[in-house]
Amino acid sequence: MPTDQALKLAQEADLDLVEVAPTARPPVCKLMDYGKFKYENAQKAREARRNQTNVVIKEMKLRPKIDQHDYETKKGHVVRFLKAGDKVKITIMFRGREQHRPELGYRLLQKLAEDVTDLGFVESAPKQDGRNMIMVLGPHKKKAEAKAEAKAAKASRAAERAAEDEEERAERTAHNAGRPVAQKKERGRSENLDPEIEA
């Protein structure tokens, strides 16, 4: 169909003439509401961005001669990151003579990996990088799953709390039901006022 006829058809239908395949012989065009088309594409893109999860890599730094309590604290942070669905980069920092004993760092990384096997897996094996030894742990759950699980747990805790509050309120009401209600004393003219003074 000639271009001027197609344009006339578009004007009559109150639509736009949009070229779909310009390289085809002859070029392919389509009658459509271009503004609506652009809006729907923007909505689809926005929805795709909303559902997209960006992987965050958290970092935890340790020393080879870390104390047991400090190790437990750092391990707790790693567990929290993995539960949230984030990757964790574990860095062991060597100083001075510690650099000649890389097996200490390797053992520490292996111990940490074993302690968190139920939440994550070793994504990249421990490797020496200058003065540091690095290992990356990946979570078993995806970020979206972890978020949904956390939301569900929060909702169940709120429901439990509300039930406990209601139960406590009912107990208080039942406890106070047996007590007599104190009668209010009628207030009269104060006895300590001077009778000669009239207000």
| Weakest-pLDDT range from 76-80, 105-109, 140-144, 149-153 | 140-144
CATH class belonging to 3-51: alpha beta
Give pLDDT, residue 140. Answer: 83
Longest CA pairwise span in the chain (Å): 116
Cβ contact 19:28 at 8 Å: yes
pLDDT one-digit tens code per residue, 46-73: 888 877 766 778 999 999 888 999 999 9
DSSP, res 188: -
pLDDT surpassing 90 at residue 153: no
Place of tokens 């004007």: 11
Name every residue whose Cβ is closer than 8 Å to that of residue 101 and which is 6 or more positions away in sequence. Answer: 64, 94
User: Can you tell me the distance from the alpha carbon of 116 to that of 83, in angstroms, rounded to the nearest whole number?
Assistant: 10
What is the gyration radius of the CA atoms in the chain, in angstroms? Answer: 36
Mean pLDDT of 97-119: 88
Give pLDDT, residue 186. Answer: 67
Name every residue whose Cβ is closer than 8 Å to that of residue 113 and which is 6 or more positions away in sequence. Answer: 122, 135, 137
Residue type, 190: S
Reported as a pLDDT band with limits 50, 70 and 90, residue 26 is confident
Cβ contact 76:88 at 8 Å: no
> Average model confidence (pLDDT) for the chain?
83
User: Can you tell me the distance from the alpha carbon of 156 to that of 141, in angstroms, rounded to the nearest whole number?
Assistant: 20
Tokens matching residue 137: 């742990």
Give pLDDT, residue 90. Answer: 92
Q: Which CATH superfamily is domain 57-143 in?
A: Translation initiation factor 3 (IF-3), C-terminal domain (3.30.110.10)
Residue type, 110: Q
Cβ contact 166:149 at 8 Å: no
Place of tokens 């001027």: 4
- Identical fold for domains 3-51 and 57-143, yes or no, is no
Structural domain boundaries in the chain: 3-51, 57-143
pLDDT surpassing 70 at residue 116: yes
